[in-house]
Amino acid sequence: MSTDSTVVRDAWRSFYAAAQPALDDWQAAAAEPSVTQAKRLRDLLAANRDTAFGRAYGFANISDAAQYRERVPLHAYADLLPWIERAQRETAAVLTAQPPQFFERTSGNSALQKLIPYTPAFLGEMQRALVVWLADVYRQVPEITFGRAYWSMSPPLQANGHAANGIPIGSASDLDYLGGSIVAGLAPTLIVPSFQDDVAEWRKQTLLTLIAADDLSFISVWSPTFLSSLLRSLFEADNPGHAATLGWLDARLPIPRKTALRAALAEGTCEPLWPRLAAVSCWMDGPSRQYATQLRARFPQVRWLPKGLFATEAVVTLPFGSGEGCPLAIESHFLEFMFDDGRVREAAELQRGDIAQVVVTTGGGLYRYLLGDRVQVVGFTGRTPRVEFVGRTGAQCDLVGEKLDETTVASVLKEIFTDPGEAVCLAPCATAEPPHYVLLIASSTPRAANAVATEVESALLRAFHYAHARRLGQLGPVQVRHLTGSPQRLAGALQQAAEQTGIRAGDAKPRMLIGRLDTANALLALTGN
């Protein structure tokens, strides 16, 4: 069912007019990243100088980034945890002068789920990046205004509560992030499925709502696996829920949409379903690259737009302009970059080809926080670096001391699996005796399992700690599990396993190494047959 196109276009035009000053400011800032970042740091320190943290580290006496690095150490989450716990107990200003509106849970791909303070200042930092991004999308692809948009907004998968001082823990939905922003003025353009407590029911209702929308013109999701997992039940006859899903939809769709769905199934693409669809935005680098490439075949008519690096803790990049990667969000937070040798550089000091870990200081009270994301400089917008996500530094699995990390595993698997029609990941099987790793391969053409296992095992043995654990017999050899059919079968299983273990549907991230044992166990159970 379509909506009044005039309402949608007027909302976008009003938004773009209101966003124009922010867009102009961003372009000026991108030309002078050192000036922009110096001001961002000064503002953050001045705003929070009289907090408990600010007094402890002498914010009042810090005049530049060099002094900031001297006085304030780098912080992992565990280092900031005592301060965050104080902010959940006390009513005085602990980390920030503004009290948090809520504490948001991280998406949970690490074993430790973190609580991140969300203050009005921090929400403003994230919203500013969203405004610039959406204004640039409108400028690049005006056809998105020809119909409504779907933005992935996931219901919470865990019950929300309150801290000891009464501050809410967990947001009700992703819509909470938009309050007070001009982005909220785009609400009339959105297709919003009803939230359901039951995740399976919510997914069905989301699919129904999308198929019913004949005017869908823009899709914005985080992970491509989220969208591909919705579509699998439509297009893949070997999916266990295929027939039931089609029957359920057939009983609820109006005749014109049933006809469009049949045409899409016959063609194998989504073009007959959504002829106005102009753009799809999702993660397209790092481990998401292979899944985005596979998903594009379902949408031959659309413009594909990369997502920036938005984490629960910070926004690092925002999509803007053309070229590889995305520019750093220099107006939002103060950004630093730590190299493998321990050197720390500011945004304006980065050079093409540099690979470093992101360090953020935010209006939410994260000071010199090690985000754990590694990025590579691939170009520039003005003088501001454009970067691509490389992988996580802390994504590690250590059953018996083997210390496998995602960077090592990704390097091994990319070297062996070069066919874009294959999807792979490595999952620990901790319940076996001895424990071992299972290589999951989804492709239409099976490989010889023994040969693949030997090749992957040989490559992993180049990692000292893995080889040591194998020599001692603490770890068994790699085993191979082949998922017949489309490569998207693995994407769907990864998505389902993430949801089963408390990760919001829209936040589930593709991984080449599954570090969380409960997610790995769920994935192995789902693919066991």
Strand-pair category, 326-327 with 102-105: unpaired
Report the pLDDT value the prediction gives residue 327, as an integer from 0 to 100: 97
Q: What is the CATH number of domain 396-526?
A: 3.30.300
The residue assigned the tokens 């990692």 is 463
Cα 521–Cα 522–Cα 524 angle in degrees, nearest 5: 65
Which one is predicted more confidently, 154 or 83?
83
CA distances from 453 to 30, 109, 337, 378 (A): 48, 26, 37, 34
Cite the residue boundaries of each domain of the chain with CATH code 3.30.300: 396-526
Tell me how many helices (H) and strands (E) the chain has: 16, 19
For the sheet with 161-162, list strands across it: 115-118, 102-105, 168-169, 161-162
User: Residues 292-332: pLDDT tens digits?
Assistant: 888 898 999 899 999 889 888 999 999 998 889 999 999 99
Give 108's pLDDT tier (boundaries 50, 70, 90): very low
Phi, psi of 121 (to 5 degrees): -65, -40
210 has pLDDT over 50: yes
The residue assigned the tokens 């002078």 is 32
Please count the residues of the chain: 529
Supply the pTM of this predicted model: 0.79
237 in helix, strand or coil?
coil
User: Residues 329-370: pLDDT tens digits?
Assistant: 999 999 999 998 999 999 999 999 999 999 999 999 999 999
On average, the pLDDT of the chain sits at 88
CA distances from 251 to 2, 17, 244, 254 (A): 20, 43, 11, 9
224-235 and 242-250 are packed helices; what angle lies between their axes, rounded to 10 degrees?
A: 80
